[in-house]
A and B are shown apart, each in its own frame.
Chain A
């Protein structure tokens, strides 16, 4: 008879070898490395804090973006990292350019993601606000030119690397105290080199409504990087006018989650740029929402009148603006073409410091130091302590087909 004890056992030999795995713990603790100065702002993603490094060799300030953990009652649980956090982590780790916000490090601790960015004192929303309150004072032309050139330089870099931002708006464009423009919030950005599926199949709605390109409003399935240039055109207009150029009202999603036609937004665009025709935009008739356009009253292009009304005088600036706000995405200026435009190459020398020669003192980002507990799991919703953030602006809906 075979001795059973001689047979190899499939169970582990001794109990000492039973070593259950400990739960995931971060090797780096956010509070060990950073001193939290205070709370900056909050949004749907989570909260942003201002911080300084505790490491003596690391100078400067940081903005720590804490992604909101998902909560079930009081218990915080792992639920899978959101698509937008994944994109932002991956793209910011990969990209390096002077006009794209620099990611210092990522800490995954206690079921939360902390992305540590370089700190920028200002953003375009705040700068525009400063010039429109309490009374309206135009932004100096040298500042506008510098901001726009740097913004285009950053967009050009993104596009050369096949990254579409898809949410360019004043609140997402930072400016450092040294006047350098930094494109931020890559949570909606994605690589568009030979996508595995039509872009439309991914995120149903991209770009905050006031900055959304007409091809998106008309339901284009295969949009291109040109959507970012439309948004840049809108931002340029806003720097001149100190208010959004196309301030439409967003039609709400109906219960079936079908994307409605944004009639009011399209109307605002048409009122200034005129009704797009087949001659101006060859493929327009093929767009799904084109029949909706047919019910619009015809308008002529009033952009030049608008330009003078807001107090802008530079003819080349007008040329550039109309090149960016071109209906047909194929004819719209690319970032590279816009950078080479006469608006930048002619006239006074362009500075890479947006504030050079300007005597305007912009207020510092307001930071509330009574709210500096980054570890608190309190839900975002506390209002931003400083200037109005994008809670006053329509937000981009981040909806994914896969969710």
Chain B
């Protein structure tokens, strides 16, 4: 159903397990190896690529002045697609542009196909074919692999619904929004129901972020940037500001979360009660939190250079553009 996650195609067909996702990726990799593609076109680890595709999508969304929701839908489409088709069999830039084009239609903020192609070309130059028919053909491929299941349930909705009962401050809401935006770099949307992801972001925003903040006060600048840019993402509504947290503060923040003061421990138990009453599985929230921490760890050493070069080599080599 369009508004009910429990009967949605997302839950029925696109809620996977970690094992399943690993198997699907492994099968694609093995096939690439068998065809000699793996050797000819080495690609960085999928976590690295996810960061890269996320940043590409975000830059394209910013140029098109998109809001967070169509961007999140596009990110979800791309993740689903690359579980079924090898990256090496695609032009990733064309693919992610197609995801944006389709997501805009589905989120009822359609963009002209020519406009998407033009903006994508401004970012990815010769890797995007000028002919709009190429992107339109790619759309067929995308919809076909997604089995026409195009409606995506996002955690943003849960966040909006619970902000009043959970008495979230506007700072906390902004921070939670930023965590949600970052969650699309990970596989969370393929693994958990949207409300679990939303509660994770709230948990991080209420208990982990203040720790970051305290840490920031001690260490001077660093992570204050995170609070500010996080706020910007929510307030402007176009979600174009990414948080690139300073890695050191991130990791220390997480450890700091375990040493919360008496006031927040009262709030923690209050919120845990509320989560328990709503039937939210704490286990899921803990797993999601770990996933987010692992993301910030990867982010620490990540640069787009390797990804950019290997994708360029792939597209040139396979004459995809």
Contact = CB atoms under 8 A, between A and B. Distances in A.
Interface of A: 10-14, 16-21, 23-24, 26-27, 77-81, 83, 86, 89-91, 93-96, 106, 108, 111, 160-163, 190-191, 193-197, 202, 400-403
A402 B309 CA distance: 35
Contact of B150 (A14, A89, A194, A195): A89
Contact of B320 (A20, A86, A111, A197): A20
A202 B108 contact: yes
A161 B67 contact: no
Interface stretch (B2-10, B178-186, B193-201): B2-10
Interface string B1-24: 111100111000000000000000
Contact of B136 (A18, A79, A193): A79
B93 to A, nearest CB: 14
B36 A24 contact: no
A108 B1 CA distance: 23
B2 A94 contact: yes
B89 to A, nearest CB: 6
B215 interface: no
A99 to B, nearest CB: 14
Top 9 closest A-B pairs, CB basis? A402-B110, A78-B136, A17-B40, A162-B3, A12-B317, A90-B150, A80-B113, A161-B1, A78-B133
B318 to A, nearest CB: 6
A19 B157 contact: no
Chain B interface main SS type: helix
Contacts of A23: 137
Given A20-B320, A95-B1, 16 more contacts: A11-B316, A18-B317, A20-B319, A24-B140, A26-B144, A78-B133, A80-B101, A80-B113, A81-B143, A89-B143, A90-B106, A95-B2, A108-B143, A163-B2, A196-B67, A402-B104
Given A10-B309, A18-B317, A80 B41 contact: no
B2 A161 contact: yes
A161 B40 contact: no
Nearest to B7: A96
Nearest to B237: A196
A21 B108 contact: no
Contacts of A402: 104, 109-112
A106 B142 CA distance: 13
B90 interface: yes
Given A94-B9, A191-B2, A19 B109 contact: no
B57 to A, nearest CB: 18
B37 interface: yes
B311 interface: no
B160 interface: yes
A91 B316 CA distance: 38
A252 B315 CA distance: 50
Most buried by A among B1, B135, B318, B320: B1
Interface residues of B, number: 56
Interface in B259-314: 309, 313
A10 B148 contact: no
A78 B150 contact: no
A401 B108 CA distance: 10
Contacts of B3: 160-163, 191, 193
B136 A80 contact: yes
Most buried by B among A12, A21, A78: A78
B151 interface: yes
Nearest to B116: A80
A96 B101 CA distance: 27
B7 A108 contact: no
B121 interface: no
Given A80-B136, A108-B143, A19 B37 contact: yes
Most buried by A among B67, B104, B106, B309: B106
Most buried by A among B9, B90, B111: B9
B115 to A, nearest CB: 9
Nearest to B70: A196
5 contacts: A13-B40, A14-B40, A94-B1, A163-B2, A402-B111
A206 to B, nearest CB: 13
Most buried by A among B113, B133, B147, B157: B133
Given A17-B37, A19-B37, A80 B139 contact: yes
A93 B143 contact: no
Contact of B89 (A17, A21, A95): A21
Nearest to A21: B320
B36 A86 contact: no
Contact of A24 (B110, B112, B113, B137): B137
B37 to A, nearest CB: 7
Contacts of B144: 24, 26-27, 108
A193 to B, nearest CB: 5
B141 interface: yes
A197 B108 contact: yes
Contacts of B102: 81, 86
B118 to A, nearest CB: 14
A23 B144 CA distance: 14
Nearest to A103: B148
Given A18-B319, A90-B151, A196 B107 contact: yes
B63 interface: no
A267 to B, nearest CB: 32
A162 B40 CA distance: 49
A197 B105 CA distance: 13
A13 B317 CA distance: 9
A24 B137 CA distance: 7
B132 interface: yes
Contacts of B137: 23-24, 78
Contacts of B101: 80
Contacts of B36: 16-17
